[in-house]
Chains A and B, each alone.
Chain A
């Protein structure tokens, strides 16, 4: 088992708002290994974005606060680092791609200059020509046509897919060891999504970076990820490699997620959403946060009173689930896996 590139332990982040204290992330623990693609899945509000942004120091600290936790990256704790040190890592070793490429690029600065800025910030001594060369090369790598012309254009002159490619190019400009992609395709058309995912795959192969892919789309997870983390209400509820999770999900929420997808290969009368609403992060349900919507719980007191610990289940030591009654799910086969053909 190789050394993890990034080790997060007990990370907890909260926000002070007018309505109360929001517990966005409530004690999560996971590792990322070099070269792998880790998918983080969950609904909006599950804390998936907040957890990664807080590691990079992108959460504004007045309303937000990192209550506890460590994030070890190459031997140093990112959360305890001085701002200047963390800044040096940001954009260099640790890079992030955001969701909406239209608003994530400065509209009045040329694309080439913005990409160049990513390089020059960390390597100020590089000559302008070399930087320009590298930028054009990056644009070519991500598949932007005519990069030498496009270099001088403004973001609004790029299409949505191209902008996201440019964003990806910008993030890998300094060959990061860890790339975090926060819902990179959510704002794009489905056909463009496929293209951008291809770009991500290419980029992974070329740079050997470990990738954290945050998404709510299980299809993307199935395509790109090696391992999966499922988050709910700021906690991790299940973790494992992608095949195991899809074939043998061992948490009611994961099952609910998969079952709620419409299946084209089966005859279905009813769509099966997960009943209920996502929980308030200010007043979370006591005990297991999922229990009010859980089909497995059936009102059992333990679900209401005790927060389930994450423990290994039948998929192997790497497959963990935070459910008191995970064993009861053994033998259950997910319908999703069958139709997608992940076996």
Chain B
């Protein structure tokens, strides 16, 4: 439904009951041609919302779509691990030690050194990774958003303090601190590890959000809103926050990947998720005792790579879709 564009009516109308001025040609008052022909003649302006554009750009991004599909499959397998995994990942079968991958008995990924079905173990590992990734991404995004918003909007000493804290976190060697934290606080379950990771991940987004709030705070529409009596919270929510959603979404998506990689590294070194909770990192670590059985090392690692690739593709697509500064051709 195209609404008639008011600019198609000539002249600036301050009062509606005054007749629009026409152009004069030799004394004859004429007005521009009927509006429907204007629409037909290529002047149509279809109003599309920002999300429409974003969605179209995203769907056109082939890699992003690939990532999305891949991720749905993999994460789906994780969520429904109960149904997808043919065996109980803890089930020991001493008759089938270190079997190479095969289709018989559904041992698609082979078995490990005590006969457990590797495919099932990997699938349950996916589930754990999912949990960690999503938890860390969501919670740290939330914290980062809140901290960044407050720091950027209020400025002054609050900003200073909060930014010093982020600086502090950033100058510490990340992996080392995480390792130390898990060694001393005790890791083990994916939730503990997620919490530890979250403590460090929020800083990245906080900086970005703060930057946006800082720059938008001075804009005219914020001043206008203030002048009409809008409170701080309202300004922050309605006016500035929507502008941060793009980077937040992108950052959050990419954080899932980073979180999963970091957790895998921690678990690999023995400081992350510990048995019996399954973890892809632990699987790779355990595989070190049997280097000849390539499947033990390859499959969990490949799964991590697949997850991270899909997430990164999606993140790339989201960034393209939501970032207003496009690198388009200049016509």
Touching chains A and B, CB distance < 8 Å: yes
Which residues on A are within 8 Å of B, measured CB to CB?
A: 15, 17-18, 22, 24, 50, 60, 63-64, 259, 269-273, 275-277, 279-281, 283-286, 291-299, 304, 328-329, 331-332
Tell me if B21 and A279 are in contact (CB < 8 A): no
Tell me if B25 and A271 are in contact (CB < 8 A): no
Please count how many residues in chain B sit with their CB below 8 Å of the partner chain's CB atoms. Answer: 27
Tell me if A277 and B33 are in contact (CB < 8 A): no
Tell me if B41 and A329 are in contact (CB < 8 A): no
Which residues of chain B come closer than 8 Å to A331, judged between CB atoms?
Answer: 26
Which residues of chain B come closer than 8 Å to A298, judged between CB atoms?
Answer: 30, 33
Contact partner, B331, options A24, A275, A332, Cβ 8 Å: A24
Tell me if B42 and A276 are in contact (CB < 8 A): no
Which residues of chain A come closer than 8 Å to B22, judged between CB atoms?
Answer: 295
Task: Tell me whether B62 is interfacial, beta carbon within 8 Å.
Answer: no
Tell me if A294 and B32 are in contact (CB < 8 A): yes
Which residues on B are within 8 Å of A, measured CB to CB?
A: 5, 7-12, 21-23, 25-26, 30-34, 37-38, 41-43, 45, 60, 328-329, 331
Contact partner, B43, options A273, A279, A281, A294, Cβ 8 Å: A279
Contact partner, A292, options B5, B9, B43, Cβ 8 Å: B43
Tell me if B43 and A277 are in contact (CB < 8 A): yes
Interchain Cβ contacts under 8 Å between A and B, 13 examples: A259-B23, A269-B21, A271-B11, A276-B38, A277-B5, A285-B42, A285-B43, A291-B33, A293-B32, A293-B38, A295-B23, A299-B37, A332-B26
Tell me if B25 and A276 are in contact (CB < 8 A): no
Contact partner, B25, options A273, A284, A286, A295, Cβ 8 Å: A295
**With A275-B32, A276-B32, A276-B38: A332-B25 Cβ-Cβ less than 8 Å:** yes
**With A275-B7, A276-B8, A279-B42: A15-B33 Cβ-Cβ less than 8 Å:** no
Task: Count A/B pairs, Cβ under 8 Å.
Answer: 88
What's the Cα separation between A328 and B24 when bound, in Å? 12
5 interchain residue pairs of minimum CB distance: A292-B41, A285-B41, A295-B23, A63-B329, A283-B42
Contact partner, B30, options A60, A271, A295, Cβ 8 Å: A295
Which residues of chain A come closer than 8 Å to B25, judged between CB atoms?
Answer: 295-296, 328-329, 332
Tell me if B331 and A272 are in contact (CB < 8 A): no
Tell me if B34 and A299 are in contact (CB < 8 A): yes
Which residues of chain A come closer than 8 Å to B32, judged between CB atoms?
Answer: 275-276, 293-295
Expressed in whole angstroms, the minimum distance between the Cβ of B251 and any Cβ of chain A is: 26
In the complex, residue of chain B having the shortest beta-carbon distance to the beta carbon of A16: B329
Expressed in whole angstroms, the minimum distance between the Cβ of A200 and any Cβ of chain B is: 25
